[in-house]
Structure 1
Amino acid sequence: MEIVVIDGQGGGIGKNIIQVLKEKHPEYTIIGIGTNSMATTQLKKGGADIIATGENAVVYNVKHASIVVGPIGVAFANSMYGEITPAMANAIGESEARKYFIPVSKCSAQVVGVASKSISEYIDDLVVMIEKLEK
């Protein structure tokens, strides 16, 4: 299974996602894509098998992924202080991959009905959802 993890800013959420996925499922191929070099470095430290940076990396890789994961802001153009370009958000939206987003309170987009949890609790929920796909 090929999973694309996208993150920006400092890359901490993506790093944590990758660490948990790799710990539980080392067989997954994880492509870490940062919107900036700092985020990409963190994704590599988290254990991503492949890393890339920037708009074209997002646009290209989400076309081929089984799953796309990231903080909710990656789905919205100009979010994350402008790091998510319209082309990135469009490519993510048009991708046929399953998409799982971690709700982040710093983002101006909020999902009604989502319980307030820690990032680590959301990541645990994410892993369970991905595991269910394989059954």
Structure 2
Amino acid sequence: MKHGDLLVVVVDGQGGGMGRGLVESIKKKWPKLHVRAVGTNSLATSAMLRAGADDGATGENAVVFNARQADLLLGPIGILTPNGLLGEVSPAMAEAVGASEAVKILLPSQRCSIRLAAGDPQPLQFYLDQALRLLEEELAARGV
């Protein structure tokens, strides 16, 4: 399987900081992998595009549409929760992400009301590194 055969969708909201970090890390390690930035708002989409995403889209319909298209989907865990990310995630967005057949790699966030029983909170870079490790495992399993 070639890199271009996979669509990696990174979803983020608010200022797009977590999405920006994901896109930068993914494009640095796999420059030919197609990464699409999908923001709940234009600020988040812009941040991810500046980080090197191949293309991007913004808003509820963009999240719903691209969640169906994605092979791999990454973002903060709040994208699974209706009204997550301080209300930026609509119920339709959360449903689309949850129903997506894409492999989901989700990062915890201190700003999210979801707490994971997985140890002490870590800095964002720790979660970015873990997400990249999981992505690498998934890509290897797909022969990429």
SS at match of 1:124: helix
Residue 122 of structure 2 is aligned to residue 103 of structure 1: no
Once residues 64 and 112 of structure 2 are traced to their aligned partners in structure 1, the CA distance between those partners, rounded to angstroms, is 21
Q: After the TM superposition, which residues 50-65 of structure 1 pair with which residues of structure 2 at under 5 Å, given as runs?
A: 50-65=55-70
- When the two structures are superposed, what TM-score results if normalisation uses the length of structure 2? 0.90
What is the CA deviation profile of residues 74-109 of structure 1, one whole-angstrom value per residue up to 9, with x for unaligned ones?
110001121100000000000000001110011001
Q: CA deviation at 1:23?
A: 0.3
Once residues 127 and 27 of structure 1 are traced to their aligned partners in structure 2, the CA distance between those partners, rounded to angstroms, is 15
> Aligned letter for 2:129?
D
Structure 2: state its 5+ residue gaps. 1-5
CA RMSD, 1 decimal: 1.0
> Aligned letter for 1:9?
Q
Match of 2:38 among 30, 33, 38: 33
- Matched residues, number: 135
Once residues 82 and 134 of structure 1 are traced to their aligned partners in structure 2, the CA distance between those partners, rounded to angstroms, is 32
Q: CA deviation at 1:114?
A: 4.1
Which residue number corresponds to residue 119 of structure 1? Answer: 124
Q: After the TM superposition, which residues 1-135 of structure 1 pair with which residues of structure 2 at under 5 Å, given as runs?
A: 1-135=6-140
Structure 1: state its 5+ residue gaps. none
- Larger deviation: 13-22 or 109-118? 109-118
What is the CA deviation profile of residues 35-92 of structure 1, one whole-angstrom value per residue up to 9, with x for unaligned ones?
1111111011111101100000000011111111101111100011211000000000
> Aligned letter for 2:22?
I
Runs of 4+ in 1 over 4 A off after TM superposition: none
